[in-house]
């Protein structure tokens, strides 16, 4: 799992996750909505870029699904338009982001989640997020080099993490 000591908080560990707004989300103008929900939760963006994945990158990203009947459709969709990839950091962010996103099938996602509010079909479900620390590490390395991570202290962290606060 990608963990780093949280700046200024002794003993608190943060993790990093890859979050990607898929082509349907980009084309529908939902990038800001996705980022807003993640930042509103209190997580920090450490890297962000827009790109168009090629077939090789798509196959590497979805390698755990290779050989499954839906693999070629998945790779075809993710290469059909631009995506916005982000590295998100925060305490327990992998599980929390998966909750913010909702279930893979939007029909099973409750209102208040990205997929529950913004998606209709499983093959057009707006967003991807790492499902484990191991996946996060692999996915982040596909999209970002170490020199692309930006470390900074957010002044709002005092309001998110009580351990940091003098208040």
Q: Active-site residue numbers?
A: 128
State the Cα–Cα distance between residues 129 and 115, nearest whole angstrom.
Answer: 12
Asked whether the beta carbons of 18 and 129 are under 8 A apart, the reply is yes
- Residues composing the chain: 167
Distances (CA, A) of 18 to 15, 87, 111, 129, 155: 10, 5, 23, 6, 23
State the Cα–Cα distance between residues 127 and 30, nearest whole angstrom.
Answer: 10
Residue with tokens 């999209």: 143
Distances (CA, A) of 89 to 21, 50, 105, 112, 154: 16, 18, 25, 21, 12
């Amino acid at each position: 799992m990608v963990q780093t000591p949280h700046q200024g908080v002794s003993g608190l560990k943060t993790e990093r996750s890859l979050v990607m707004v898929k082509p349907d989300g980009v084309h529908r103008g939902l990038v800001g909505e996705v980022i807003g929900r993640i930042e509103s939760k209190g997580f920090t963006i450490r890297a962000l870029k827009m790109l168009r994945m090629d077939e090789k990158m798509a196959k590497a990203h979805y390698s755990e699904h290779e050989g499954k009947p839906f693999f070629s459709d998945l790779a075809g969709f993710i290469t059909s338009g631009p995506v916005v990839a982000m590295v998100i950091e925060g305490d327990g962010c992998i599980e929390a982001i998966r909750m913010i996103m909702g279930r893979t099938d939007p029909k099973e996602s409750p209102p208040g989640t990205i997929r529950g509010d913004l998606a209709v079909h499983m093959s057009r479900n707006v967003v991807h997020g790492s499902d484990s620390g191991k996946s996060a590490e692999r996915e982040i390395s596909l999209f970002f080099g170490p020199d692309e991570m930006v470390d900074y202290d957010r002044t709002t962290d005092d309001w998110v993490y009580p351990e940091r606060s003098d208040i």
